[in-house]
Structure 1
Amino acid sequence: MRLGNIAFNSPSPINIDDSAKIELRLDLHQSPAELAKSITAPGKVESDRIKVSDHMTAHLSSPDFDITANTPETQAVSGAEPTSWIWTVKPKTSGEHNLYLDLDANIILDGVLTPRTIRTFSKTINVTVTPSQRFVDFAKENWQWLWATIFVPIAGWWWRRRHKSANVDVT
Protein backbone atom coordinates (compact mmCIF):
# COMPACT_ATOMS: atom_id res chain seq x y z
CA MET A 1 0.00 0.00 0.00
CA ARG A 2 1.08 3.55 -0.72
CA LEU A 3 0.85 6.61 1.49
CA GLY A 4 -1.61 9.37 0.74
CA ASN A 5 -3.13 12.39 2.43
CA ILE A 6 -6.72 13.01 3.41
CA ALA A 7 -8.61 16.12 4.49
CA PHE A 8 -12.17 16.41 5.77
CA ASN A 9 -14.42 18.93 7.49
CA SER A 10 -16.12 18.70 10.90
CA PRO A 11 -19.36 20.70 10.90
CA SER A 12 -20.36 22.29 14.18
CA PRO A 13 -22.70 23.52 15.37
CA ILE A 14 -25.63 22.35 13.27
CA ASN A 15 -29.13 23.64 13.85
CA ILE A 16 -31.53 20.74 14.42
CA ASP A 17 -33.67 21.80 11.46
CA ASP A 18 -30.70 22.09 9.07
CA SER A 19 -28.45 19.64 7.31
CA ALA A 20 -24.70 19.81 6.83
CA LYS A 21 -22.24 18.55 4.26
CA ILE A 22 -19.25 16.39 5.16
CA GLU A 23 -16.54 16.32 2.50
CA LEU A 24 -13.54 13.96 2.46
CA ARG A 25 -10.74 14.22 -0.09
CA LEU A 26 -7.87 11.80 -0.63
CA ASP A 27 -4.83 12.50 -2.79
CA LEU A 28 -1.50 10.75 -3.35
CA HIS A 29 0.50 13.88 -4.24
CA GLN A 30 -1.00 17.00 -2.64
CA SER A 31 0.28 18.03 0.77
CA PRO A 32 -2.15 17.96 3.70
CA ALA A 33 -2.28 21.79 3.66
CA GLU A 34 -3.08 21.91 -0.07
CA LEU A 35 -5.71 19.23 0.30
CA ALA A 36 -7.27 21.00 3.30
CA LYS A 37 -7.65 24.18 1.20
CA SER A 38 -9.64 22.22 -1.38
CA ILE A 39 -12.40 21.34 1.10
CA THR A 40 -15.39 23.55 0.25
CA ALA A 41 -17.82 22.40 2.97
CA PRO A 42 -17.96 24.68 6.05
CA GLY A 43 -16.44 23.72 9.39
CA LYS A 44 -13.11 22.87 10.89
CA VAL A 45 -10.85 21.05 8.41
CA GLU A 46 -8.57 18.26 9.59
CA SER A 47 -5.99 16.29 7.64
CA ASP A 48 -3.92 13.14 8.08
CA ARG A 49 -1.54 10.81 6.28
CA ILE A 50 -2.84 7.27 5.72
CA LYS A 51 -2.13 4.04 3.87
CA VAL A 52 -3.99 3.83 0.57
CA SER A 53 -4.86 1.04 -1.85
CA ASP A 54 -6.17 1.28 -5.42
CA HIS A 55 -9.76 0.94 -4.12
CA MET A 56 -10.90 2.66 -0.93
CA THR A 57 -14.17 2.61 0.97
CA ALA A 58 -15.13 5.63 3.06
CA HIS A 59 -18.06 5.22 5.43
CA LEU A 60 -19.77 7.81 7.65
CA SER A 61 -22.16 6.53 10.33
CA SER A 62 -24.08 7.59 13.43
CA PRO A 63 -27.37 6.60 15.06
CA ASP A 64 -28.04 10.31 15.79
CA PHE A 65 -28.08 11.50 12.16
CA ASP A 66 -29.83 10.67 8.92
CA ILE A 67 -26.87 10.26 6.56
CA THR A 68 -27.07 10.33 2.77
CA ALA A 69 -24.01 9.36 0.72
CA ASN A 70 -23.81 11.73 -2.28
CA THR A 71 -20.95 9.75 -3.85
CA PRO A 72 -20.22 6.02 -3.99
CA GLU A 73 -18.66 4.79 -0.75
CA THR A 74 -16.23 2.50 -2.61
CA GLN A 75 -14.14 4.23 -5.25
CA ALA A 76 -11.00 3.68 -7.29
CA VAL A 77 -8.20 5.98 -6.15
CA SER A 78 -6.74 8.10 -8.91
CA GLY A 79 -3.04 8.83 -9.07
CA ALA A 80 -3.72 11.98 -11.08
CA GLU A 81 -6.44 13.79 -9.13
CA PRO A 82 -8.10 13.76 -5.70
CA THR A 83 -10.75 11.19 -4.87
CA SER A 84 -13.75 12.73 -3.08
CA TRP A 85 -16.54 11.47 -0.87
CA ILE A 86 -19.48 13.68 0.15
CA TRP A 87 -22.29 13.03 2.62
CA THR A 88 -25.30 15.07 3.73
CA VAL A 89 -26.10 14.71 7.44
CA LYS A 90 -29.33 15.76 9.18
CA PRO A 91 -29.50 15.58 12.98
CA LYS A 92 -32.33 13.68 14.64
CA THR A 93 -32.05 15.31 18.09
CA SER A 94 -30.26 18.26 19.67
CA GLY A 95 -27.20 17.88 21.90
CA GLU A 96 -23.65 16.60 21.56
CA HIS A 97 -23.41 13.75 19.04
CA ASN A 98 -20.72 11.80 17.21
CA LEU A 99 -20.19 10.94 13.58
CA TYR A 100 -17.87 8.03 12.81
CA LEU A 101 -15.67 8.34 9.73
CA ASP A 102 -13.83 5.20 8.59
CA LEU A 103 -11.62 4.49 5.59
CA ASP A 104 -10.85 0.96 4.49
CA ALA A 105 -8.32 -0.19 1.91
CA ASN A 106 -9.82 -2.87 -0.35
CA ILE A 107 -7.20 -5.41 -1.34
CA ILE A 108 -6.70 -6.69 -4.88
CA LEU A 109 -4.98 -10.09 -5.14
CA ASP A 110 -4.11 -11.58 -8.52
CA GLY A 111 -6.24 -8.95 -10.27
CA VAL A 112 -9.39 -9.79 -8.26
CA LEU A 113 -10.95 -7.45 -5.70
CA THR A 114 -10.80 -9.59 -2.60
CA PRO A 115 -13.38 -9.18 0.18
CA ARG A 116 -10.56 -8.29 2.59
CA THR A 117 -10.45 -4.76 3.90
CA ILE A 118 -7.90 -3.08 6.08
CA ARG A 119 -8.97 -0.15 8.25
CA THR A 120 -6.47 2.61 7.50
CA PHE A 121 -8.23 5.50 9.24
CA SER A 122 -10.91 5.95 11.88
CA LYS A 123 -12.06 9.23 13.40
CA THR A 124 -14.89 10.27 15.72
CA ILE A 125 -16.24 13.70 14.76
CA ASN A 126 -18.02 15.51 17.61
CA VAL A 127 -20.94 17.65 16.43
CA THR A 128 -23.05 20.06 18.46
CA VAL A 129 -26.70 20.20 17.40
CA THR A 130 -28.51 23.31 18.59
CA PRO A 131 -32.26 23.40 19.30
CA SER A 132 -32.71 27.18 18.92
CA GLN A 133 -34.64 27.13 15.65
CA ARG A 134 -37.33 24.85 17.10
CA PHE A 135 -38.59 27.54 19.54
CA VAL A 136 -38.62 30.24 16.86
CA ASP A 137 -40.55 27.98 14.46
CA PHE A 138 -42.97 26.98 17.22
CA ALA A 139 -43.58 30.64 18.11
CA LYS A 140 -44.18 31.56 14.46
CA GLU A 141 -46.67 28.72 13.97
CA ASN A 142 -48.49 29.18 17.31
CA TRP A 143 -48.39 32.92 17.97
CA GLN A 144 -52.18 33.11 18.52
CA TRP A 145 -52.04 30.41 21.19
CA LEU A 146 -48.95 31.95 22.84
CA TRP A 147 -50.62 35.37 22.86
CA ALA A 148 -53.73 34.04 24.59
CA THR A 149 -51.99 31.86 27.19
CA ILE A 150 -48.89 33.86 28.06
CA PHE A 151 -49.04 37.49 27.04
CA VAL A 152 -52.71 38.24 27.88
CA PRO A 153 -52.45 36.94 31.49
CA ILE A 154 -49.19 38.89 32.02
CA ALA A 155 -50.79 42.04 30.63
CA GLY A 156 -53.82 41.49 32.90
CA TRP A 157 -51.61 41.03 35.96
CA TRP A 158 -49.65 44.16 35.09
CA TRP A 159 -52.89 46.15 34.53
CA ARG A 160 -54.39 45.02 37.87
CA ARG A 161 -51.20 45.82 39.72
CA ARG A 162 -50.97 49.28 38.12
CA HIS A 163 -54.67 49.96 38.76
CA LYS A 164 -54.39 48.75 42.38
CA SER A 165 -51.37 50.98 43.11
CA ALA A 166 -53.16 53.97 41.53
CA ASN A 167 -56.17 53.43 43.88
CA VAL A 168 -53.91 53.19 46.93
CA ASP A 169 -52.24 56.52 46.09
CA VAL A 170 -55.61 58.34 45.77
CA THR A 171 -56.90 57.40 49.26
Structure 2
Amino acid sequence: MAFNVPPPMNIDDPAARVHLTIAPGETGEQAAKMIREPGLVENHDVRISSRMRARLSAASDAVVITELSEAVQGVSDTEPTNWYWAVKPLKSGEIPLHVSLEALLKIDGEVTPRLVKVYDGSMTVTVTGIQRLEEFSKENWKWLWTAILVPVTGVFWKRKEKPKGDESTTVDD
Protein backbone atom coordinates (compact mmCIF):
# COMPACT_ATOMS: atom_id res chain seq x y z
CA MET A 1 0.00 0.00 0.00
CA ALA A 2 1.18 3.50 -0.75
CA PHE A 3 -0.25 7.02 -0.64
CA ASN A 4 0.98 10.57 -1.06
CA VAL A 5 0.80 13.47 1.35
CA PRO A 6 0.39 16.76 -0.58
CA PRO A 7 3.48 18.98 -0.77
CA PRO A 8 3.49 22.38 0.94
CA MET A 9 0.93 24.56 -0.77
CA ASN A 10 -0.39 28.09 -0.76
CA ILE A 11 -3.89 28.68 0.58
CA ASP A 12 -5.07 29.94 -2.86
CA ASP A 13 -3.70 26.92 -4.74
CA PRO A 14 -6.22 24.58 -6.35
CA ALA A 15 -7.08 21.44 -4.42
CA ALA A 16 -4.30 18.91 -4.12
CA ARG A 17 -4.93 15.27 -4.94
CA VAL A 18 -4.20 12.38 -2.63
CA HIS A 19 -3.83 8.95 -4.21
CA LEU A 20 -3.82 5.69 -2.26
CA THR A 21 -3.13 2.38 -3.96
CA ILE A 22 -3.20 -1.19 -2.75
CA ALA A 23 -1.13 -3.41 -5.01
CA PRO A 24 -1.31 -7.09 -4.04
CA GLY A 25 1.85 -9.00 -4.81
CA GLU A 26 3.95 -5.83 -4.87
CA THR A 27 6.25 -4.47 -2.20
CA GLY A 28 5.57 -1.12 -0.55
CA GLU A 29 8.35 0.42 -2.64
CA GLN A 30 6.80 -0.93 -5.86
CA ALA A 31 3.39 0.40 -4.84
CA ALA A 32 4.98 3.79 -4.10
CA LYS A 33 6.19 4.01 -7.70
CA MET A 34 2.55 3.81 -8.85
CA ILE A 35 1.71 7.11 -7.10
CA ARG A 36 1.91 9.95 -9.62
CA GLU A 37 0.57 12.78 -7.44
CA PRO A 38 3.12 15.24 -5.99
CA GLY A 39 4.24 15.14 -2.39
CA LEU A 40 5.82 12.77 0.06
CA VAL A 41 4.90 9.15 -0.74
CA GLU A 42 4.53 6.75 2.15
CA ASN A 43 4.41 3.00 1.69
CA HIS A 44 3.47 0.24 4.09
CA ASP A 45 2.82 -3.47 4.00
CA VAL A 46 -0.80 -4.11 4.97
CA ARG A 47 -3.15 -7.02 5.24
CA ILE A 48 -5.98 -6.86 2.74
CA SER A 49 -9.38 -8.41 2.19
CA SER A 50 -11.52 -8.72 -0.91
CA ARG A 51 -13.54 -5.61 0.10
CA MET A 52 -11.92 -2.61 1.72
CA ARG A 53 -12.82 0.92 2.72
CA ALA A 54 -10.27 3.75 2.59
CA ARG A 55 -10.90 7.09 4.23
CA LEU A 56 -9.00 10.34 4.32
CA SER A 57 -9.83 12.72 7.14
CA ALA A 58 -8.42 15.76 8.88
CA ALA A 59 -8.38 16.52 12.58
CA SER A 60 -9.77 20.01 12.04
CA ASP A 61 -12.03 22.08 9.81
CA ALA A 62 -8.97 23.66 8.19
CA VAL A 63 -9.42 21.56 5.06
CA VAL A 64 -12.20 20.31 2.80
CA ILE A 65 -11.77 16.73 1.62
CA THR A 66 -13.75 15.54 -1.39
CA GLU A 67 -13.90 11.86 -2.34
CA LEU A 68 -13.06 11.33 -6.00
CA SER A 69 -13.57 7.56 -5.89
CA GLU A 70 -15.81 5.16 -4.01
CA ALA A 71 -14.79 4.64 -0.39
CA VAL A 72 -15.62 0.92 -0.50
CA GLN A 73 -14.03 -1.08 -3.28
CA GLY A 74 -13.36 -4.66 -4.19
CA VAL A 75 -9.67 -5.46 -4.04
CA SER A 76 -8.22 -7.57 -6.83
CA ASP A 77 -5.63 -10.25 -6.17
CA THR A 78 -3.71 -9.19 -9.26
CA GLU A 79 -4.47 -5.53 -10.11
CA PRO A 80 -3.93 -2.37 -8.05
CA THR A 81 -6.97 -0.80 -6.38
CA ASN A 82 -6.95 3.00 -6.19
CA TRP A 83 -8.64 5.67 -4.09
CA TYR A 84 -8.46 9.41 -4.79
CA TRP A 85 -9.36 12.54 -2.83
CA ALA A 86 -9.15 16.28 -3.46
CA VAL A 87 -7.84 18.29 -0.51
CA LYS A 88 -8.52 22.04 -0.36
CA PRO A 89 -7.08 23.98 2.59
CA LEU A 90 -9.16 26.70 4.21
CA LYS A 91 -6.56 27.91 6.71
CA SER A 92 -2.82 28.16 6.89
CA GLY A 93 -0.60 26.04 9.10
CA GLU A 94 0.25 22.39 9.60
CA ILE A 95 -2.87 20.31 8.87
CA PRO A 96 -2.84 16.72 10.13
CA LEU A 97 -4.29 14.18 7.71
CA HIS A 98 -5.32 10.63 8.56
CA VAL A 99 -5.60 7.70 6.17
CA SER A 100 -7.54 4.75 7.51
CA LEU A 101 -8.00 1.34 5.94
CA GLU A 102 -10.74 -1.07 6.91
CA ALA A 103 -11.27 -4.62 5.78
CA LEU A 104 -14.98 -5.39 5.33
CA LEU A 105 -15.51 -8.90 6.62
CA LYS A 106 -18.67 -10.98 6.56
CA ILE A 107 -19.27 -12.27 10.07
CA ASP A 108 -22.46 -14.18 10.94
CA GLY A 109 -23.98 -13.01 7.67
CA GLU A 110 -23.31 -9.30 8.31
CA VAL A 111 -20.63 -7.07 6.82
CA THR A 112 -18.42 -5.90 9.66
CA PRO A 113 -15.57 -3.39 9.27
CA ARG A 114 -12.24 -4.26 10.82
CA LEU A 115 -9.71 -1.47 11.14
CA VAL A 116 -6.52 -2.54 9.43
CA LYS A 117 -4.39 0.52 10.09
CA VAL A 118 -4.43 4.31 10.45
CA TYR A 119 -1.61 6.36 8.98
CA ASP A 120 -0.91 9.94 9.90
CA GLY A 121 0.62 12.58 7.72
CA SER A 122 0.38 16.35 7.55
CA MET A 123 0.28 18.97 4.87
CA THR A 124 1.71 22.45 5.24
CA VAL A 125 -0.32 25.39 3.98
CA THR A 126 1.25 28.84 3.68
CA VAL A 127 -0.19 32.29 3.21
CA THR A 128 1.46 35.19 1.34
CA GLY A 129 1.59 38.74 2.70
CA ILE A 130 -1.17 39.90 0.36
CA GLN A 131 -3.34 36.95 1.39
CA ARG A 132 -2.77 37.81 5.07
CA LEU A 133 -3.96 41.35 4.36
CA GLU A 134 -7.03 40.01 2.51
CA GLU A 135 -7.79 37.59 5.35
CA PHE A 136 -7.41 40.38 7.93
CA SER A 137 -9.72 42.62 5.87
CA LYS A 138 -12.36 39.90 5.59
CA GLU A 139 -12.30 39.21 9.32
CA ASN A 140 -12.23 42.88 10.38
CA TRP A 141 -14.21 44.62 7.64
CA LYS A 142 -16.64 46.31 10.08
CA TRP A 143 -13.83 47.81 12.11
CA LEU A 144 -11.87 48.82 8.99
CA TRP A 145 -14.96 50.35 7.38
CA THR A 146 -15.54 52.49 10.46
CA ALA A 147 -11.86 53.45 10.72
CA ILE A 148 -11.84 54.65 7.10
CA LEU A 149 -15.37 56.04 6.71
CA VAL A 150 -15.49 58.22 9.84
CA PRO A 151 -12.33 60.27 9.06
CA VAL A 152 -13.23 60.63 5.37
CA THR A 153 -16.76 61.75 6.27
CA GLY A 154 -15.31 64.23 8.78
CA VAL A 155 -12.98 65.76 6.19
CA PHE A 156 -15.81 66.01 3.66
CA TRP A 157 -18.15 67.58 6.23
CA LYS A 158 -15.53 70.18 7.26
CA ARG A 159 -14.93 71.18 3.65
CA LYS A 160 -18.65 71.58 3.12
CA GLU A 161 -19.08 73.84 6.17
CA LYS A 162 -15.95 75.97 5.53
CA PRO A 163 -16.90 79.52 4.54
CA LYS A 164 -15.69 80.38 1.09
CA GLY A 165 -14.48 83.88 1.97
CA ASP A 166 -16.23 87.14 1.27
CA GLU A 167 -17.46 86.98 -2.26
CA SER A 168 -19.11 90.40 -2.23
CA THR A 169 -16.86 92.74 -4.03
CA THR A 170 -17.54 96.25 -4.95
CA VAL A 171 -16.99 97.44 -8.43
CA ASP A 172 -16.16 101.08 -8.91
CA ASP A 173 -17.83 102.63 -11.88
Task: Indicate whether the TM-score tops 0.5.
Answer: yes
Q: Deviations for 1:64-84, whole angstroms, at most 9, x for unmatched residues?
A: 211111100000001120000
The match for 2:3 is 8
Which residue identity does 1:117 align to in structure 2?
P
Which 5+ residue runs of structure 2 have no aligned equivalent? 135-173
Going from structure 1 to structure 2, the CA distance change for 1:104 and 1:133 (only over 3 Å counts) comes to: farther
Question: How many residues are matched?
Answer: 132
Q: CA deviation at 1:135?
A: 3.2
TM-score by length of 1: 0.71
RMSD, aligned CA: 2.1
Report the structure number with the largest CA radius of gyration: 2
Q: Does 1:49 align with 2:45?
A: yes
Instruction: Tell me what 2:35 maps to.
Output: 39
Deviations 1:109-130 (CA, angstroms, capped at 9, x unpaired):
47x5x33111111012111101
Partner of 1:91: 89
- Alpha-carbon distance in 2 for matches of 1:52, 1:25: 12
Question: What residue number does 1:24 align with?
Answer: 20
CA separation in 1, counterparts of 2:68 and 2:130? 27
Structure holding more strand per residue: 1
What TM-score, normalized to structure 2? 0.70
Q: 1:103 to 1:134 in 2, by over 3 A?
A: farther
**Which structure features the higher share of helix residues?**
1
Identity %: 35
Structure 1 segment 12-161 matched on structure 2, within 5 A:
12-18=7-13, 19-62=15-58, 63-109=61-107, 112=109, 114-132=110-128, 134-135=130-131
Q: Which runs of 4+ in 1 moved over 4 A?
A: none
Alpha-carbon deviation of 1:98? Answer: 0.7
